[in-house]
Structure 1
């Protein structure tokens, strides 16, 4: 696989996606996006009421994120995206667009336009106990700690043939970022 145009920092709520993603983007000089900023208001209200999102809620949001990634990468900008991306299907949508399938070209002769994002998935993994402890300390976030179990229930950790690396959240922030940066140098 070619060097990634984007890094997806994924994991359940409270795993450190936004913190790790923003730090990586800063160190790499890449653009940073937090997927939470792109949730429609209906999704935010649902989560604030303690109702887990379903696929119908997530797919339009993921398609929007795919379009953002594709736009930036097409203009030569590398991107770090912090996004839960709990299911393989969700990661496929981030890479290829709606339903994980490449969109068809609108104009004849434009079919060769890239529609897939070269993505390295960085999976921040940790135990329920460790991550729930972090969530209980977090203030002012729309995702209540009570929804964490639903995220673990939904989680499909990345596996081959996905282009991914797993990093434990039990490590320090500097160790996590150093591990990811070392892996990028090898790509």
Structure 2
């Protein structure tokens, strides 16, 4: 049983990669953007970056979804920006993750078995993608704020980083191979 979070800044391809990977593996897929409260959407549409107070209830809700799927034995992929380490802790631990610190080396509960897949690439490429995107509430003007907030995953977090400069099919194949080797 596996839980994956495809993460990165807006326009990095989280939803596209996550949905293609879910189709290929036959897993359940959730797009975190679908769960933003209306207030968050309106704020972003106005070009106002979200703050921690805006994000924490949303992240706790996404945690609940992941834990529900975990409890039912469902392999699941979530597309979610998860820009800060604190946000990833909330996805793993729910409300308890709001004060998350580094692991103390104890046995990890199942909720900390999330594999974060960081789609990484240059701001110029992502900005170009955002300029072409239509019908999304996240305006290209907020991209810099996303890069400013980004805390790339690092040890001891459970993650892999994949370059988004490759074609989607290649990105999905890289992740699929990693997942199959790791989770069988």
Q: Distance in 1 between matches of 2:7 and 2:30?
A: 12
Aligned ranges 1:13-162 → 2 under 5 Å? 13-100=10-97, 116-162=111-157
Higher helix share: 2
Shift of 1:99: 4.2
Give me the TM-score of the superposition, normalised by structure 2.
0.91
Shift of 1:88: 0.4
Partner secondary structure for residue 43 of structure 1: helix
Verify the 8 A CA contact 1:96 1:115 in the aligned structure 2.
Answer: no
Count residues with an aligned counterpart: 173
Indicate the structure (1 or 2) with the bigger Cα radius of gyration.
1
Verify the 8 A CA contact 1:97 1:115 in the aligned structure 2.
Answer: no
Give me the TM-score of the superposition, normalised by structure 1.
0.89
Deviations 1:114-152 (A, max 9, x none): 672421110000101000000000000000000000000
RMSD across aligned C-alpha pairs, in angstroms? Answer: 1.4
Gapped regions of structure 1 (runs ≥ 5): 103-113
Q: Distance in 1 between matches of 2:16 and 2:98?
A: 30
Verify the 8 A CA contact 2:5 2:78 in the aligned structure 1.
Answer: yes
Shift of 1:186: 2.0
Deviations 1:51-95 (A, max 9, x none): 000000000000000000000110111110000000000001001
2:26 maps to 1:6: no
Q: Distance in 2 between matches of 1:180 and 1:126?
A: 16
